Amino acid sequence: MNPQLAQTDLERWTRVKARLQAEVGEDIFSSWFARMELEGIEEDTVRMSVPTRFLRSWIQSHYAERVLACWQAEEAKLIRIDLAVRTAVLRQAITPPAKPAEPVRTVLDARANGHDFRGMPSEPGQHETAGGSPLDPRLNFDTFVVGRTNELAYAAAKQVAAARRGDGIMFNPLYIHAGVGLGKTHLLQAVTWAGNAQPDNKVLYLTAEKFMYGFVSALRSQTALAFKDVLRGINVLVIDDLQFLQGKQTQAEFSHTLNSLIDAGRQVVIAADRPPGDLETIDERVRSRLAGGLVVEMGGLGEELRLEILRARVAAARLHHPQFEVPTAVLAMIARIITHNGRDLEGALNRLLACSKLTGAPITMELAEREVRDLIRPQDPKKVKIEEIQRIVARHYNVSRGDLLSSRRTANVVRPRQVAMYLAKTLTLRSLPEIGRRFGGRDHTTVLHAVRKIEHLVGNDTSLADEIDSLKRQLQE
Ligand code: ADP
Ligand code: MG
């Protein structure tokens, strides 16, 4: 969020988002709009941004009028939406930097033009593989740092990449899920590079976005058959960011592709930001097929792992920029304070590299602290899982999790169950039907009833309110 926005604009933005969410529903909202940010309002124009070009074109072609209408409900004089792709350049252009930013900007421009900036602006570092999404040669197994939270995913990915056609397939699909910036794309591209290095092996890496675009545009140009042939002619299909797969027809095609590949003994590798059961826009049968192979979660990067990643990055950068030296104490400081994800670690090093290249100044602790200060984020509110809510609530009320999911209607289970549903509604983005499904297949009206009931009770019963507060705290810490 742009820090320079006026409070009133921020409040309007909050209302616009709520309106939009009410109109399109939670699922669509979280798939397409959750990462949209307000950049500013000028006269008749609202300027907003999203992190990828794909999101921008999708929102522009499908939701532009809706978004504008939501703004107009706030302020009738607004007649234009300007949606940009968020980059460091954009940020700098809007927020005047406190210090002369010219040199740094030269480097960051690479990011606006290319896809992802990885510290060496002179090298585009992107390869288009036949029909697939661009691959970055730096994202391979050698550069992937293994630690406790990702070793299982790493081992599985290695195994998949090394398998030869005709070998028995051990787990299919391999489904990896993790939060943003925790290495999913890195691992998937590593599988693709390694797999394609083998003779007679063909691995196709596609983002879900590319899958959708490929299919939709193939349909338009009547080459859908050719597209299907390409997909079916490969040994390993790798699909990144599956949570973005949308649309009935694409889904049907995806389901068909998945089934035919798996049934033909071809490997499928998937990454998403959530487990298969939480892919709400995806058909139930597809979800269960996805869950039928090996599902692995990658956890957050611990401090040690972050330090390792930074070390590896510096070593890689030094191959091209031998003068780039970062004292260990500086690396340790960055590893300690930038806890969010791998992308921010990379961003921090890129800034140091830019400074070092452009000013020739040695990287001191002071310089580093100044450069990376704005990359430190307040801890994101922890993502709470429904299972976790059920576990904690069951423990608190001394019943079992099975009781909460069961159809028993005795008072000692009914109340805890309602509390758990209420917490699921307030602490997660899950929809009522989804919550119902996760509570032993109940109807969404039951969930709604529970939520209303607890809301009502909390207003009148302070001890219940305290109890709920304490449960919330336990879940969020
Ligand atoms: P995701 O796809 O999960 O959002 P990425 O794979 O794009 O995350 O990772 C973000 C950045 O962090 C990339 O630059 C990636 O190389 C780096 N990174 C994440 N995990 C690791 C790791 N285990 N080892 C090395 N680099 C990592
Ligand atoms: Mg990714």
List Cβ neighbours of 62 (8 Å cut-off, separation of 6 or more).
Answer: 32
> Cα(387)–Cα(294) distance, rounded to whole angstroms?
19
3-state DSSP assignment of residue 450:
helix
> Cα(200)–Cα(440) distance, rounded to whole angstroms?
47
**Do the Cβ atoms of 67 and 20 come closer than 8 Å?**
yes
Q: Is the CB of 125 under 6 A from ligand 1?
A: no
What tokens were used for 399? 């019943």
Q: Tell me the per-residue pLDDT of 116-151, one tens digit each, with 9 for 90 and over.
A: 323 333 233 334 444 677 888 889 999 999 998 999
From the CA of 346, the nearest ligand is: 1
- The number of the ligand 1 atom at minimal distance from the alpha carbon of 312 is 25
Number of Cβ within a 10 Å radius of residue 84: 16
Q: At 219, which amino acid appears? A: L
From the CA of 177, the nearest ligand is: 1
3-state DSSP assignment of residue 37:
strand
Helix (H) or strand (E) holding 168: none
CA-based diameter of the chain, in Å?
Answer: 72
Among 396, 389, 427, which residue's Cα sits nearest to residue 412? 396
Over its C-alpha atoms, the chain yields an Rg (Å, rounded) of 24
Q: Tell me the per-residue pLDDT of 356-403, one tens digit each, with 9 for 90 and over.
A: 888 888 999 988 988 888 777 665 556 788 999 999 999 999 999 999
> Cα(280)–Cα(341) distance, rounded to whole angstroms?
25
pTM: 0.59
Stated length of the chain? 477
The number of CA neighbours under 13 Å toward the Cβ of 149 is 16
What tokens were used for 105? 């900007």
Among 268, 320, 276, 392, which residue's Cα sits nearest to residue 118? 320
Q: How far is the CA of 180 from the centre of ligand 2 (A)?
A: 7
Protein residue closest via CA to atom 23 of ligand 1 = 145
Please work out, in degrees rounded to the nearest 5, the angle formed at the alpha carbon of residue 191 by the alpha carbons of 186 and 196.
Answer: 130
Cross-sheet strand order for the sheet of 80-85: 37-42, 45-50, 80-85
Among 224, 258, 219, 220, which residue's Cα sits nearest to residue 239? 258
Tracing tokens 């611990």 back to the chain, one arrives at 302
Q: Residues 91-117: what's their mean pLDDT?
A: 31
User: In degrees to the nearest 10, what's the CA dihedral of 266, 267, 271, 275?
Assistant: 90
Question: Alpha carbon of 245 to those of 23, 332, 447: distances in Å?
Answer: 20, 39, 27
Q: Tell me the per-residue pLDDT of 321-333, one tens digit each, with 9 for 90 and over.
A: 888 999 999 999 9
The number of CA neighbours under 13 Å toward the Cβ of 360 is 0
| pLDDT score at 381 | 56
Q: How far is the CA of 301 from the centre of ligand 1 (A)?
A: 10
Q: Is the CB of 315 under 6 A from ligand 1?
A: no
Helix (H) or strand (E) holding 242: none
Least confident range from 239-243, 292-296, 374-378, 405-409: namely 374-378
Q: Is the CB of 309 under 6 A from ligand 1?
A: yes
DSSP classification of residue 40: E
From the CA of 341, the nearest ligand is: 1
Ligand 1 mutation target, pool 158, 182, 193, 349, most atoms within 8 A of CB: 182
- The number of the ligand 1 atom at minimal distance from the alpha carbon of 138 is 16
**Do the Cβ atoms of 346 and 313 come closer than 8 Å?**
yes
| pLDDT score at 454 | 94
Instruction: Say whether pLDDT at 29 is over 60.
Output: yes
Confidence of residue 103 (pLDDT cuts 50, 70, 90): very low
Instruction: Say whether pLDDT at 225 is over 60.
Output: yes
| pLDDT score at 106 | 24
Instruction: Say whether pLDDT at 196 is over 80.
Output: yes
| pLDDT score at 112 | 31
Q: How far is the CA of 190 from the centre of ligand 2 (A)?
A: 12
Q: How far is the CA of 345 from the centre of ligand 2 (A)?
A: 15
Ligand 1 mutation target, pool 339, 343, 350, 380, most atoms within 8 A of CB: 343
Q: Residues 216-238: what's their mean pLDDT?
A: 72
Q: How far is the CA of 153 from the centre of ligand 2 (A)?
A: 15
> Cα(424)–Cα(466) distance, rounded to whole angstroms?
17
> Cα(461)–Cα(467) distance, rounded to whole angstroms?
10
DSSP 361-392: ----HHHHHHHHGGG--PPPPPPPPHHHHHHH
Q: Tell me the per-residue pLDDT of 264-299, one tens digit each, with 9 for 90 and over.
A: 888 999 999 999 988 877 888 899 999 999 999 998
Q: Is the CB of 139 under 6 A from ligand 1?
A: yes
